Amino acid sequence: MKARATYDSVSCKSESQTAARDGSTDSASLISTDSTETKIQAKCTEKQIKENFVKLYQLLSNEEAARIKALREEEEQKNQILRRKIEKMRKEMSSLSATVAALEEEMKAEDSLLRNYDATLKRFVSFLCCSELKPTASLTTECFSRVSQCKAPDPEDISGVLINVPKHLSNLKFTVLQKMLKTVDYTPVTFDPNTAHCNLILSEDLTSVRYSDEEQTLPENPERFDMFACVLGSQGFDSGSRCWDVEVGDSTGWFLGVMTESAQRRNKIFSRSGIWLVGHLCGEYKAHEPPQSPALLPVKEKLQRVRVQLDWDSGKLSFSDPLTDTHIHSFTHTFTERLFPFFGVGCDISPLLILPLKMTVIESN
């Protein structure tokens, strides 16, 4: 892999290429090129939108299938409980029928009934009351009193056979959204491809950028960097606090920071104001606030990840190592316009990656 030592070589190369293009391309061809690029962008963007929605549909489909499966499993469990209860009641009814049948048989034979009267009634009452009864003078009265008190099964006897509907439906959309947030990444900053230098390759989700020696054919729109391998974030900030983490990995040439909306993006951007940077180049870590000269930073350990924190209202831009919670550098300035996240890539060893955040849904009244 090849690392770029400085931006100067790329600057000279880009200047000559820009001049050559300017000298050989008229306004009509530029408009035609831009129109073609617009069509290509629209087609690619539409494709990526559809692909992302396919993934979302798949997530929802999987969640729906899992919930329907859970419902079916509970339904089967409830049916098993109901079948057991029905079987128990069937056995009890069968036993009761047998007792009644036996009683009827004994009643047909008066002599037999008189001889076994107390024993039969005692057995019948024992079934109804599940307790032993001693023969008494009022045994007949008690027996028929118990029979007359027989009721339908208590509702508690069939409890637990109904579906727990709230478990499946309560706050369903909210619960599914919470689960989706655990599987879907949210990146606080994404790259703006319309600002990317022609040597930079962006990932489809606009969260990763790498340097390539091979130039792409891109429109020469005024938002695009033409001399240095840089790209801006897609969203600008003019109030509040923002934070984003960047994985720099083994890259030996990179710059991170912010740039004002009005700052010049063409030609030598590092000689003009409106940009605040911390970077790594030629084995050194430096802070740069043009038109001042870069200042060497006393970074002892190689940085793998850098956190950029912007407090626009307080006029503070801070850089730190989130892995070691070590402060790197801070700029203070009274900001007066919109600021865009800035990324410079001077090496093709490894890409710069904007890391996703963990998101949670907060309930509020």
Q: What is the pLDDT of residues 66-82, one digit of tens each?
A: 899 988 998 888 888 88
Tell me how far apart the alpha carbons of residues 286 and 299 are, in angstroms, rounded to a whole number: 9
Q: What average pLDDT does this structure show over 71-94? A: 87
What is the pLDDT, as a whole number, of residue 42?
A: 84
Task: Pick the closest to residue 209 from 30, 352, 44, 4 (CA basis).
Answer: 352
What is the pLDDT, as a whole number, of residue 94?
A: 86
Tell me how far apart the alpha carbons of residues 360 and 169 are, in angstroms, rounded to a whole number: 21
Per-residue confidence band for 37, with pLDDT thresholds at 50, 70 and 90: confident
Greater confidence, 220 or 148? 220
What is the pLDDT, as a whole number, of residue 331?
A: 97
Dump pLDDT digits (tens) for 213-238: 999 988 888 899 988 999 999 999 99
Greater confidence, 290 or 159? 290
Contacts of 329 (CB under 8 A, 6+ apart): 278, 287, 297, 318, 319
Which tokens hold the place of 309?
Answer: 């924190």
- On the question of pLDDT at 323 being above 90, the answer is yes
Task: Pick the closest to residue 255 from 329, 355, 332 (CA basis).
Answer: 329
The CB density around residue 44, as the number of other CB atoms within 10 Å, is 12
Q: Are 63 and 179 in contact (CB under 8 A)?
A: yes
Strands, E, within 269-325: which ranges?
275-281, 284-288, 295-296, 305-311, 316-321
Tell me how far apart the alpha carbons of residues 191 and 202 are, in angstroms, rounded to a whole number: 8
Task: Pick the closest to residue 33 from 192, 200, 215, 217 (CA basis).
Answer: 217
Tell me how far apart the alpha carbons of residues 238 and 335 are, in angstroms, rounded to a whole number: 8
Which tokens hold the place of 207?
Answer: 């969260």
Q: For the chain, how long is the longest CA-to-CA vector?
A: 131
Per-residue confidence band for 132, with pLDDT thresholds at 50, 70 and 90: very low
What is the pLDDT, as a whole number, of residue 319?
A: 98
**In what helix (H) or strand (E) does residue 206 lie, and over which residues does it extend?**
none
**CATH 2.60.120.920 assigned to 187-354:** yes
Which tokens hold the place of 244?
Answer: 């984003």
Distances (CA, A) of 180 to 61, 65, 145: 12, 15, 63
Tell me how far apart the alpha carbons of residues 327 and 303 are, in angstroms, rounded to a whole number: 12
Total-model pTM: 0.63
- For the chain, the structural domain boundaries read 64-108+151-182, 187-354
Dump pLDDT digits (tens) for 234-272: 999 999 999 999 999 999 899 999 999 998 888 778 777
Dump pLDDT digits (tens) for 334-363: 999 999 999 999 887 889 999 998 766 566
